[in-house]
Amino acid sequence: MSKDDHSASAQADTTRAALHKRKERAPLFNDQDKDNISWFWNKYLKERTPWLGLVMVMILIQGFAYQQFISLTESGLRVIFDDGSVSGLIKVCGMVLAIFSVRAVMSYWVPRLSAWLASNAVFKMRRDLIDHMMTLDLAFFERTKSGDIILRLVNQAQDLSGFIGQTTVNAVRDTVTIIAVSGYLIWKNPLLFMLVIIVMPTITIVVRRISQGIKGTQANAENAMGNYMSGIEEMTNGMRTVKISNQEPVEKARLNKATGEIRDLTIRLQKLQAMMSPTVDILAAIIYVLIIGVGGYMALSPSFEMDGAGIIGFMIGMALIFDPARRLTAFFVSMQASLIILDSLRSLYREVPTITNAPEAKEVFDPTGDIILDEVTFQYSEKHPLFRNVNMTFEGGKVTAIVGATGSGKTSVLSLIARLYDVSEGFVTIGGTAVKDLRIDKLRQSFSVVAQDIVIFNSSIYENIKYVRPDATDEEIWRAAELVGIDQLMRDRGDAPLGPKGSQLSGGQKQRIAIARAFLRSAPILLLDEATSALDQRTEERVRGAIQELSKDKTTIMVAHRLSTVTHADHIYVLDEGTVVEEGTHAQLMEQEGLYAAMFNAQRSSYG
């Protein structure tokens, strides 16, 4: 099982455990749900209270219109049955028409306004979520599947908008309709109403039961959807590897398994949801039978003040209540799903960054000073310590190289200097100031970085270089391109985008863009992580010359496997499993005849 699978199943287990706990407590709204709802209300809806009030008033008018409609229908029937007055009938018809016109106007404005309110609320929430995500540690993105993040920001946020803007508003309107019409019916015939209402608790019990099942299934479905999205992303990103290693059947099977899971869960969800309607239908039948039977008896019996028009009015009233009641049950169903979605969205806020600015973080420091790792202890996870009391000095304005076997911790040293992670013990200082005491943006502004994993956007080479300094002039960008020898390609390709992740470029071309970026940025500290590994020897020599030019008067730290590229460094550290095992200049290290000399000689004989 891969690391991702582990985290996915662990996440699913956590969700299931949480749901189990929820079921044991309050099935409809638990404390977490209440907290989430009040959070959403306070943060995104409260400020629009006057508009929400207006929507509410319009909904009340709609409800009142229904109630008036029954009353007028009853009057109309009486005109027909009792008086036979045509003018009275026309008057009633006119009033019914007017009432429905009012309702029609409200039916236009209520959804328009509510969609506007909901879209704005969700827009703000999405914006906040993106802001919040930008503050999160790199570690969060290394452990969270991108599919999960996409699912939350795209689908779940949209679903939530729909739920608030349409489903909830409709539910409020339906509740108002039910209350208004029921109120009228109670006033007309309390006994008959009480009789038919007796079956109502059954609805509540059924809704509660079915909702519980839906909540659990929905959480699993959201999980499955996140896995599916991550799977698609991994597959498309890794298509080159998939094709070369003939792994299409494996990918197909993996994605089909994920879609199969979604299908099963969707069917299960629909099965649960489908149980709602027949329940309401059967209850409706019972209620109609009661009205016809008991109401009819009341109309026939002289001891009750009930006539034929009254019974028909009552039946119309109940008919008007049924659809809203049915929708209201459906609302409770989708509310369970939306509560899961709301919790999932909010869980992003529960992720707190650990790499943050200190309360009195300094803005000014000496980025040209020495960079020192002082008794640094660090690990990515408790179980796997990487550095223990490591000491390293990268002299200001000089070139220092870090070499060592793969996995020995070279990149991690750069990550600690850039404060992508915090040390657990010891200090990392630049020019005498601990990086922990610096404002993160000021610290990171002092680096030009050529990382191992180069990020190329689907735009032109020109735009890609410009990315690191949007205010750079045309001249500066061309100069940077010339220095790394990518200017001809930049001319040839013009504005043509480079494909997703720069897929239309060779590894070496991507690397040259990355180095051009470093030139353009020209910050006082230069971090080069395998910066020229993908270049052929001739290009490398040319670029190396340019890099040496760039590193002049800059504190340069270069990580390299090809030792021939670091021989000119002022100082070289040799790392082995997180420990500095040797250090010195190339000549000194060769003299020592230790690990460095062995690696160098081995490489020389293999490269020829």
Ligand X SMILES: Nc1ncnc2c1ncn2[C@@H]1O[C@H](COP(=O)(O)OP(=O)(O)OP(=O)(O)O)[C@@H](O)[C@H]1O
Min dist CB 406 to ligand X, Å, is 3
Query: How many residues in the shown chain lie near ligand X by CB under 6 A?
Result: 11
DSSP 8-state assignment for residue 485: T
Using CB under 6 A as the binding rule, whether residue 464 contacts ligand X is answered as no
Pairing of strands 525-529, 555-559: parallel
* Phi, psi of 199, rounded to the nearest 5 degrees: -75, -10
Using CB under 6 A as the binding rule, whether residue 170 contacts ligand X is answered as no
Using CB under 6 A as the binding rule, whether residue 338 contacts ligand X is answered as no
- Residue linked to tokens 């009391």: 389
Min dist CB 424 to ligand X, Å, is 14
Query: What is the number of helices (H) and of strands (E) in the chain?
Result: 24, 10
Give the residue with the Cβ less far from ligand X, 337 or 386. Answer: 386
Min dist CB 139 to ligand X, Å, is 7
User: Does the CA dihedral 59-60-66-69 come out positive or negative?
Assistant: negative
Give the residue with the Cβ less far from ligand X, 52 or 386. Answer: 386
Q: DSSP alpha helices (H): ranges in 461-569?
A: 461-466, 474-483, 487-493, 507-521, 537-551
Q: Comparing C-alpha atoms, which of 507, 508, 529 is closest to residue 518?
A: 529
The span from the CA of 124 to the CA of 345, in Å, is 13
- Letters for 407-426 (x = contact with ligand X by CB under 6 A, - = none) are xxxxxx--------------
The span from the CA of 221 to the CA of 14, in Å, is 14
Q: DSSP alpha helices (H): ranges in 356-458?
A: 410-417, 440-445
- Residue list 492-521, contact with ligand X (CB under 6 A): none
Answer for which of 1, 2, 97, 142 binds ligand X (CB under 6 A) is 142
Give the residue with the Cβ less far from ligand X, 3 or 538. Answer: 3
The span from the CA of 290 to the CA of 412, in Å, is 76
Min dist CB 411 to ligand X, Å, is 3
- Residue linked to tokens 């909702």: 211
Give the residue with the Cβ less far from ligand X, 228 or 447. Answer: 447
Residues linked to residue 394 through DSSP beta bridges, in sequence order: 371
The span from the CA of 497 to the CA of 360, in Å, is 43
Using CB under 6 A as the binding rule, whether residue 141 contacts ligand X is answered as no
Min dist CB 566 to ligand X, Å, is 13
- Letters for 370-409 (x = contact with ligand X by CB under 6 A, - = none) are ----------x-----x-----------------x-xxxx
Min dist CB 40 to ligand X, Å, is 33
The two structure tokens encoding residue 578 = 């997180």
Min dist CB 420 to ligand X, Å, is 9
Min dist CB 235 to ligand X, Å, is 22
- Letters for 201-230 (x = contact with ligand X by CB under 6 A, - = none) are ------------------------------
Residues at the site binding ligand X, with contacts judged by CB under 6 A: 142, 380, 386, 404, 406-412
